[in-house]
Each structure stands twice: as C-alpha cells, then as structure tokens.
Amino acid sequence: MPGMGIREQAEEIEMSMAHEPERVLLKNTGHRTLVPFGARKFGEDFVVIAGPCSVEDASSYLETARALRAAGVDGLRGGVFKPRTSPYDFQGLGREGLKILADAREETGLPVVTEIMDPRDVELGCEYADMIQIGSRNMQNFPLLREVAGIQKPVLLKRGMQATLAEWLNAAEYVLAGGNNQVVLCERGIRTFESSTRFSLDLSIVPAARELTHLPLIVDPSHSTGRSSLVEPMCLAAVAAGADGLLIEVHRRPAEALTDRLQQYPLDLFPRLIDRIRRTVALVETFAQDPAEPRLP
Ligand code: PEP
Ligand code: MN
C-alpha cells in the first residue's frame, strides 16, 4: 500500500481486505499480550537482548555472554544460520553454533534467541534456543511462518525491509492463526532512498503499531543503522517511542567480526550503553503517573 498513511493502512486492513488479520488486532482482544522470555516478560518488562551478529566460536561467545550477563542484559542473541547476500560469505556455524548458544544459556542462566531460515530447522532450533527469530528476509516465508505457528516457543518476527505495517501484521497473523500467540515484533529498518545509513529506522511504526496490535514490539538499532556510532541515540529514542525492548549487536572486537562488522557495538562500552538505556526506561516510566492521556484524532 505505497503512499498510504498508517491510518489509511489500518482502515485498509479493517475494511478492504477479504480477511482482516483479526487475531493480532488490539481491538479484538482488548488486552496486551505478554510473552515470557527467561525471567522476563515482553510487554511487561523492558527487555534488552544483546550479543554478536554471529556465533563465531565457543570461547569468544562465552566470554561475551559472561560480560553481557554482568552488564545486566535480559537475553542473548547470536546467529548460527546466517542470511548472507553472497553465498561465499560466512554462513554461520549451524548445529555446532546452537550447542554453543545452549552452553552460554547454561552458564549465564540467560535465554537465547537465534534465527532459523529453513522450516526443516525449526525443530532443531527449538531443541537449543528459547526463542526463534524470523529474519527480515523471511518475514513472508509462509511455510516458515506456518512451521513456527506449531511450536511452543516464542517467535521474534522481524519486519521485512520492504514490508508495510499491514503486511507485517498479516505475517504475525499466520503464526497466531496456527496456534502460537507468543509473537514479538521487531522493527529493524526499512529500505528508503537514504544511503548514509544501512536502512532507515522507522521509529514512528512503534506507536503506530501499538495503536493496532496487542503484540509486544522491540527495536533493532544495529541492522537499521548499520553503524555502531548511531546505536546509542537510536536505543534511547526507541525507549522514548514506547518500544518494549531492544535487540543490539555487540562484539568484543568489532573490527574482527565475521559479519556486520561496522554495526557491532564494542563490548567494553556496553555497560555504559545499558546504563543509559535503563535510566531512559526509568524516566519514561514516570510518565505513567501523569494525568490521563489526551485523546487525539
Ligand atoms: C539478525 O538479526 O541477525 C539479522 C540478520 O537481522 P535482519 O533479519 O533484520 O537483517
Ligand atoms: Mn547482523
């Protein structure tokens, strides 16, 4: 629905489609969905997930996981099946990487999220990970959506880089319609004409989605900007926009990272970043004590 405002898109969803995505709409449930993740709940707690783009080897991953745990993250990330533009680039460690993720969870007590690309790997992913990520390039991989609809684990559904809110919500609808309502949305930037950032982080989608859906929504400041120097401001802005959490790429030696080098936030600076995120969350939470929200058209 190019050229349409978010309200028109919402109306499009509600009125023109043969089937509106009924299960994801807030107006049909009247309450927000909480999605458990380790000791936290998306939708109730502000959930910070961090870790390298890819699991590269056991010792560096475990060292990173320990430091992130000490800094106070709520969960760990790490890709083992990587969606790479070139078939000659590092593709991820696969099953070996899943074992490393499970070891990190065992050692830190933190839940782990990892991307699955192939419907045939969903069962394997569920054996090791606490949450299954559907990447931007697979948001409309319908067989994959149907597969994760049948699992008992939460799903992190990233926005397709060319997807409208209506398309994104319909992708989530596939998962809910198949019986799994533990879905968390993740805004990760969209393709625009702007080329100074990797993608354009669409922060206005955060409050726009909140008006329509009961599903929690987190923001990925790493893939959206593609540059570590832009990560902190976008983290803080995402909190102010009402996000339920963040997914941040962190590496102990960004310059040596095997994937997405320029956007890896340096591990040694991460404690300062998460402190600023938590302080911003605390500030925004004080707004809840303000008089009732004005109703705007
Ligand atoms: C990722 O989070 O590892 C990833 C590949 O992100 P995206 O699907 O948003 O590009
Ligand atoms: Mn990455």
Predicted local distance difference test score (pLDDT) of residue 190:
98
> Which ligand 1 atom is the nearest neighbour of the CA of 247?
2
The residue whose CA is least distant from atom 4 of ligand 1 is 135
Tokens of 138: 């697979």
Domain 32-285 is of which CATH architecture?
Alpha-Beta Barrel (3.20)
Predicted local distance difference test score (pLDDT) of residue 88:
97
Q: Say if residue 285's pLDDT is above 60.
A: yes
What is the model's pTM?
0.95
Domain spans, the chain = 32-285
Predicted local distance difference test score (pLDDT) of residue 19:
84
Measured from CB, residues less than 6 Å from any atom of ligand 1 are 53, 79, 83, 115, 135-137, 158, 188, 220, 223
Residue 129 Cα to ligand 2 midpoint, Å, equals 18
Residue 22 Cα to ligand 1 midpoint, Å, equals 27
Residue 223 Cα to ligand 1 midpoint, Å, equals 7
Predicted local distance difference test score (pLDDT) of residue 272:
98
The pLDDT-based confidence of 20 (bands split at 50, 70, 90) is confident
The residue whose CA is least distant from atom 10 of ligand 1 is 136
Q: What secondary structure letter does DSSP report for 290?
A: S
> Which ligand 1 atom is the nearest neighbour of the CA of 53?
3
Predicted local distance difference test score (pLDDT) of residue 297:
84
Q: Which residues make beta-bridge pairs with 139?
A: none
- The alpha carbons of the chain give a radius of gyration, in whole angstroms, of 18
Strands 35-37 and 40-42: antiparallel
> Which residues lie near ion ligand 2 (Cβ < 5 Å)?
53, 260
Q: Say if residue 294's pLDDT is above 90.
A: no
> Which ligand 1 atom is the nearest neighbour of the CA of 159?
9
Beta carbons within 10 angstroms of residue 172's beta carbon: 23
Going by C-alpha positions, the residue among 213, 101, 111, 107 that lies closest to residue 157 is 213
pLDDT tens-digit series, residues 139-192: 999 999 999 999 999 999 999 999 999 999 999 999 999 999 999 999 999 999
Average pLDDT on 18-31 reads 92
The pLDDT-based confidence of 293 (bands split at 50, 70, 90) is confident
Cα angle 224, 226, 232; round to 5: 75
Average pLDDT on 274-287 reads 98
Q: What is the percent of the chain where pLDDT is above 70? A: 95
What is d(CA 27, CA 20) in angstroms, rounded to the nearest whole number? 12
Residue of 77, 132, 133, 200 to test ligand 1 pocket, by largest number of atoms within 8 Å of CB: 133
